[in-house]
Amino acid sequence: MSSLADAFKPHEKLAAQLIPHACGTDDGSHDIAHILRVFRNALRIHAEEGGNGAVLAAAVLLHDCVSVEKNSPLRAQASRLAAEKASGILAGLGWQADDVAAVAHAITTHSFSAGITPETIEAKILQDADRLDAIGAIGVARCFYIGGRMNSGLHDVADPRAETRELDDKRFAIDHFPIKLFKLAEGFQTLTGRRMAAERHDRLVAFYNDFLEEIA
């Protein structure tokens, strides 16, 4: 555990406390590797945008402590449930109520599905850091991994570009690009996050175009 916690420097002591609670699922797109990537994204943004580092680190470590599958009717409630669980964990570790509330707000608002606007810099950074992991090369990999978990096909053989049909990312993984992934870069909260998102968005578009060209 210590070597894994060390990857979360300079918050390795906090990580050692929270890693056992961090993942609420066997979903490989929301595992400890995802949390570490989000943490590193958050550190890059935090270095330029500021905020409370401990609150941000705790929010990152616990933002997926309750995970709900993408096709579950409870999906929109996942971040609220995670915030409630995180609040109990941090209170049990002796955190001050204001800091617990700050972490809970960041976790509650980070989710695309929740549709809640983040109000604090820590919440804005967490949302940006998490969404960065949904675009770019990592976003492509996660999209198809999740498609496999949901038993989706790669694309519609007859109409891969959805020119004469409705987009349906429950049936075809590639449809998730225009349905959601291409829209994520528009909603970033911080200047640093927007800059990072623009680079990853370009990679996402390039993959999509190459994919469609190869199956044409």
Same domain, 144 and 116: no
CA distances from 122 to 25, 63, 100, 129 (A): 25, 12, 12, 10
Token pair listed for 210: 């190459």
Q: Report, as an integer, the average pLDDT of 24-34.
A: 82
108 lies in the same domain as 17:
yes
Which residue type, as a one-letter code, is found at position 67? S
Residue range 110-160, pLDDT digits in tens: 987 777 889 999 999 999 999 999 999 999 999 999 999 999 999 999 999
Is the same domain home to 88 and 180?
no
CA-nearest of 80, 85, 76 to 18 is 85
What CATH number has the domain bearing residue 30? Answer: 1.10.3210.50
Statement to judge: residues 192 and 171 lie in one domain: yes
CA gap 3, 34 in Å, rounded: 17
In-domain check, residue 20: yes
102 and 139 co-located in one domain: no
Whether 127 is in a domain gets the answer no
Cα separation, 28 vs 34, in Å, equals 8
By residue range, what is the domain housing residue 213? 134-216
Q: Considering only CA atoms, which of 50, 80, 84, 63 is closest in space to residue 18?
A: 63
Report pLDDT digits (tens) over 82-104: 999 999 999 999 999 999 999 99
Note whether residue 143 is domain-resident.
yes
| Last residue within a domain, chosen from 100, 122, 144 | 122
In whole angstroms, what is the distance from residue 203 CA to residue 196 CA? 11
Helix axis angle for 78-92 and 12-22, nearest 10°, is: 130
Total domain count, the chain: 2
Give the rounded percent of residues in the chain with a pLDDT score beyond 90: 81
Domain end call among 93, 122, 151? 122
Structural domain contains residue 129 = no
The pLDDT assigned to 172 comes to 97
Taking each helix axis from N to C end, the angle separating 78-92 and 97-110, rounded to the nearest 10 degrees, works out to 160
Q: Identify whether residues 97 and 31 lie together within a single domain.
A: yes
